């Protein structure tokens, strides 16, 4: 049987849009001689639809649309949808509608679906929805019992560094171990910071990959599981995968929410430089505006680097000095602050003035304000609420600072986009004279390792032993929880992301 694997980009909750996409790709599959078209997990409701799955009207609308599809499709189709209270695999053929599999649930999904057990076989194939290696092995054993030649694995797996390689190795090994053909059908596209990465593939029972879809793009591939067929899989540099995930995360968020213009504060630093280039690559330089907002302590080098960045990328650069506004604010507060030494309150005033100006531009021109805080700063609380945290989308919020430079180097290898001077200078917030990030934080390569250890600690695999320095960083991360709760959405990049962790803000645990 020639199977078409349809890797599509859906919109959460937009049942009509998703249904039209299914029709389009089913027609292409038939035109190319396929006998079956397979679509990703929850492709009809649109993947990460959250609490929409608790609304009876939404669930009813999904099932009604399945009935419409059943009457109109002229090729057998397997698709993922909510159905009868389950995250289900639905088989549609000549008006017939049949659930073939229900997902084995874990974590937050139990809030939305029942999780009953179902796995059936039809026309030599069985189906499951990917839940992890352990659950996949259960599904493979069941497929063997059902004497299925092929297992269709529907998924909507979000990207994290290394996931593509992990899944490919895992599934090819299982195909050979169980002597069964496996088609892995993954969604593609971004939804509220989660980026499904695509890279669907088909592997035959000998463990050879015979068809592979593009990463971070819609695609349609075909497999008939001929044992002597084997394709060479291109090895994609990890920095390119990360960069493509960042571009798609921003692009889908903006397009699906109606934004066409983008603005950010350009400081002359690496974070804002990378954010600006990502926006340019996603939407074109003509749709991106950078705003440079110098104070009395802003260095000439910062100005030069901001100007050079925008010139290299043909990005419009505006300048709005904040010195007069800052002096006015300090004057307004002078009586209240009288006798109290200057500290972070005054420093943060500068950041908050910049946030107000950027939000004003965003409101006036309907431009999405992109914040450019990285994972290292956000984890440790080295950011200002209502200042550099203000905005609509946090593009690099899950990108560690030490890895950010590798991503910048990779982007420069494609074409020069980020000035060398930006990448070579010591990071600084420039909120006081001669300020450096290293005044408040350990070196980023050390800090990022401790942040990873903090995130890993919530896996519960083993008790973590901490040095005194690590204890202080753990405390810093814990105390910054209230800031992270108030951050805008942003793209997830790491398996154990701080986006997935919710500590109590009022937290008495001292470790």
Report the distance separating Cα 19 and Cα 455, nearest Å.
Answer: 38
Tell whether the model's pLDDT for residue 227 goes beyond 70: no
- pLDDT band, residue 439 (cuts 50/70/90): confident
Tell whether the model's pLDDT for residue 261 goes beyond 90: yes
Tell whether the model's pLDDT for residue 228 goes beyond 80: no
Tokens 């925008």 — which residue? Answer: 310
pLDDT for res 214: 96
Number of residues assigned to the chain:
511
Tell whether the model's pLDDT for residue 9 goes beyond 80: yes
Per the structure block, which two tokens stand in for 165?
A: 């390689």
In degrees and rounded to multiples of 5, residue 346 shows phi and psi of -70, -40
Tell whether the model's pLDDT for residue 171 goes beyond 70: yes
Tell whether the model's pLDDT for residue 494 goes beyond 70: yes
Question: Which of 21, 62, 86, 128 is an active site residue?
Answer: 128
Tell whether the model's pLDDT for residue 234 goes beyond 90: no
pLDDT for res 191: 93
Report the distance separating Cα 202 and Cα 227, nearest Å.
Answer: 12
- pLDDT band, residue 457 (cuts 50/70/90): confident
What would the mean pLDDT of 327-332 be, rounded to a whole number? 95
Tell whether the model's pLDDT for residue 434 goes beyond 80: no
pLDDT for res 235: 87
Between 6 and 114, residue with greater pLDDT: 6
Strands of the sheet with 36-38, listed across from one edge? 96-102, 86-93, 77-83, 36-38, 3-7, 219-223
Nearest to 198 by CA among 214, 182, 209: 214
On whether the CB atoms of residues 503 and 478 are closer than 8 A, the answer is yes
Question: Which of 41, 157, 210, 430 is an active site residue?
Answer: 41
pLDDT for res 107: 73
Tell whether the model's pLDDT for residue 232 goes beyond 90: no
Report the distance separating Cα 335 and Cα 333, nearest Å.
Answer: 6
> How much is the mean pLDDT over the chain?
93
Tell whether the model's pLDDT for residue 431 goes beyond 80: no
Query: 232: which DSSP letter?
Result: P
pLDDT digits (tens, 9 = 90+) for 86-109: 999 999 999 999 999 999 887 778
- pLDDT band, residue 48 (cuts 50/70/90): confident
What would the mean pLDDT of 315-326 be, rounded to a whole number? 97
User: Is 128 tagged catalytic?
Assistant: yes
pLDDT for res 183: 97
Question: Which of 62, 65, 103, 408 is an active site residue?
Answer: 103
pLDDT for res 429: 76
What would the mean pLDDT of 432-455 be, rounded to a whole number? 86
On whether the CB atoms of residues 325 and 355 are closer than 8 A, the answer is no
CA neighbours within 13 Å on the CB side: how many for 197? 27
Nearest to 182 by CA among 153, 155, 156, 154: 153
Tell whether the model's pLDDT for residue 496 goes beyond 90: no
- pLDDT band, residue 510 (cuts 50/70/90): low
pLDDT for res 511: 62
pLDDT for res 456: 85
Tell whether the model's pLDDT for residue 355 goes beyond 70: yes
pLDDT for res 432: 77
């Amino acid at each position: 049987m020639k199977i078409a694997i349809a890797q599509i980009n859906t919109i959460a909750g937009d049942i009509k849009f998703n249904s039209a996409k299914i029709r389009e790709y089913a027609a292409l599959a038939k035109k190319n001689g396929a006998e079956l078209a397979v679509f990703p997990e929850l492709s009809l409701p649109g993947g990460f639809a959250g609490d929409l799955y608790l609304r009876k009207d939404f669930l009813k609308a999904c099932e009604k649309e399945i009935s419409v599809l059943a009457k109109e499709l002229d090729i057998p189709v397997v698709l993922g949808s909510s159905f009868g209270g389950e995250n289900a695999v639905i088989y549609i053929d000549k008006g017939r509608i049949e659930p073939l599999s229900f997902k084995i649930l874990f974590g937050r999904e139990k809030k939305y679906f029942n999780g009953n057990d179902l796995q059936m076989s039809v026309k030599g194939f069985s189906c499951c929805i990917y839940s992890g290696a352990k659950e996949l092995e259960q599904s493979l054993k069941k497929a063997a019992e059902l004497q299925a030649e092929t297992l269709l694995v529907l998924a909507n797996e979000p990207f994290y560094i290394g996931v593509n390689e992990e899944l490919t190795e895992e599934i090819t090994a299982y195909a050979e171990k169980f002597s069964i053909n496996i088609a892995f059908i993954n969604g593609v596209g971004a939804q509220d910071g989660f980026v499904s990465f695509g890279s669907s593939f088909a592997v035959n029972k000998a463990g050879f990959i015979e068809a592979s879809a593009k990463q971070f793009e819609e695609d349609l591939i075909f497999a008939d599981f001929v044992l002597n067929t084997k394709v060479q899989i291109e090895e994609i540099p990890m920095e390119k995968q990360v960069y493509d995930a960042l571009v798609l995360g921003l692009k889908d968020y903006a397009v699906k929410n109606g934004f066409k213009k983008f603005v950010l504060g350009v400081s002359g630093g690496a974070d804002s430089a990378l954010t600006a280039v990502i926006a340019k690559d996603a939407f074109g330089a003509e749709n991106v505006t950078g705003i440079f907002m110098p104070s009395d302590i802003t260095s000439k080098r910062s100005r030069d680097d901001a100007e050079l960045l925008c010139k290299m990328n043909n990005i419009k650069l505006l300048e709005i000095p904040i010195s007069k506004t800052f002096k006015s604010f300090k004057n307004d507060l002078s009586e209240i602050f009288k006798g109290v030494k200057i500290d972070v309150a005054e420093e943060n005033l500068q950041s908050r003035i910049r946030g107000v100006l950027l939000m004003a531009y965003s409101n006036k021109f309907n431009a999405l304000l992109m914040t450019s805080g990285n994972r290292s700063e956000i984890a440790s609380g080295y950011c200002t609420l209502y200042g550099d945290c203000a905005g609509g989308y946090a593009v690099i919020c899950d990108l560690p600072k030490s890895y950010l430079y590798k991503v910048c180097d990779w982007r420069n290898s494609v074409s020069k986009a980020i000035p060398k001077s930006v990448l070579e200078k010591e990071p600084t917030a420039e909120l006081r004279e001669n300020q450096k990030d290293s005044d408040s934080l350990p070196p980023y390569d050390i800090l990022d390792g401790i942040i990873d250890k903090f995130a890993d600690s919530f896996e519960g695999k083993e008790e973590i032993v901490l040095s005194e320095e690590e204890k202080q960083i753990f405390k810093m991360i814990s105390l910054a929880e209230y800031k992270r709760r108030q951050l805008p959405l942003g793209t997830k990049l790491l398996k154990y992301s701080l986006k997935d962790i919710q500590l109590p803000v009022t937290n008495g645990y001292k470790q």
